């Protein structure tokens, strides 16, 4: 990336392409490599012909420049969460994404929080609202054997606002633990540790606050580390 554009803040993989997003000068732009060639980003061939596997550059078509806050590969969509709301980048059907036809569509006006990475949990995506005071879930629901419903942000924390907003606090970070039970761990702005025990199939959304020992402990960061055999995941926190 040239100095005039700056380095991208996000990277992921999507359908055999490497994807970069949100540089200093183009905070609302996504760059995808050529399919199966992670070092080539050219959108055309030398003769200006566009082939299906060429690189793809997408600047989100909005009336405002909304910086990208997170980037997720989920299902058959590339989910782009911006401070102005989430977007999806996908093919027009269930076929792989091509450079010839790219669907870019905003799917909500509930923006995400900068410097707070969104996560996937099963077939859903979770992100923190830009205010830090609400946790949103975007669930993937299949309507038939060929297509998927549009993701719609829903407040997963609607019954736990007293935990997320206590004394003016807000969420800073979330992380997903798969085993032994699905849980979403959260760090609050005052250093409190929260957890959501989650099972969408069984409609389980149980929020709790974890009480740590010591004198006024402040959680600064956390990590989910899997065991060697993959049967367990351990939550590690750094505490001040």
Rounded to an integer, the average pLDDT of 130-139 is 93
Query: Model confidence at 149, in pLDDT bands (50, 70, 90)?
Result: low
Evaluate if residue 138 carries a pLDDT over 70: yes
Q: What is the pLDDT of residues 196-221, one digit of tens each?
A: 999 988 889 999 999 998 888 999 99
Q: What is the percentage of the chain residues whose pLDDT exceeds 90?
A: 64
Cβ–Cβ under 8 Å, residues 209 and 217: no
What pTM value is reported for the model?
0.89
Helices (H), 167-209: none
Q: What is the pLDDT of residues 28-59, one digit of tens each?
A: 999 999 999 999 999 888 888 889 999 999 99
Report how far residue 82's alpha carbon sits from residue 65's, in angstroms, rounded to the nearest whole number.
9
Mean pLDDT over the full length of the chain: 90
DSSP 92-107: SSSSPP-SS--EEEE-
Evaluate if residue 85 carries a pLDDT over 70: yes
pLDDT at 32: 94
pLDDT at 47: 86
Would you state the structure tokens that stand for residue 114, as one six-digit string? Answer: 């900068």
Q: Which of 94-132 are b and which e, b meaning 16 or more Cβ less than 10 Å from the residue's Cβ?
A: eeebbbeebebebbbebbbbbebbbbbbeebbbbbbbeb
Would you state the structure tokens that stand for residue 113, as one six-digit string? Answer: 């929080």
């Amino acid at each position: 990336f040239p100095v005039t554009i700056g380095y991208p803040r996000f990277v992921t993989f999507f359908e055999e392409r490497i994807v970069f997003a949100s540089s200093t000068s183009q905070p609302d732009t996504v760059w995808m490599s050529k399919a199966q060639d992670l070092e080539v980003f050219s959108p055309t061939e030398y003769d200006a012909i566009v082939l299906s596997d060429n690189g793809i550059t997408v600047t989100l078509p909005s009336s405002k420049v909304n910086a990208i806050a997170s980037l997720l590969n989920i299902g058959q969509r590339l989910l782009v969460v911006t401070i102005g709301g989430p977007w999806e980048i996908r093919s027009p059907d269930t076929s792989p994404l091509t450079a010839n036809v790219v669907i870019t569509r905003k799917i909500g006006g509930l923006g995400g929080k900068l410097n707070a990475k969104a996560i996937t949990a099963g077939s859903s995506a979770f992100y923190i609202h830009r205010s830090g005071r609400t946790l949103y879930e975007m669930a993937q629901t299949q309507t038939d054997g060929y297509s998927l419903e549009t993701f719609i942000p829903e407040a997963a924390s609607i019954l736990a606002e007293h935990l997320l907003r206590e004394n003016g606090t807000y969420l800073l970070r979330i992380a997903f633990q798969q085993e032994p039970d699905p849980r979403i761990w959260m760090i609050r702005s005052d250093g409190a540790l929260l957890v959501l025990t989650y099972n969408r199939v069984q409609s389980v959304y149980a929020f709790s606050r974890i009480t740590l020992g010591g004198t006024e402990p402040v959680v600064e960061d956390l990590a989910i580390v899997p065991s060697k055999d993959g049967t367990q995941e351990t939550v590690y926190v750094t505490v001040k």
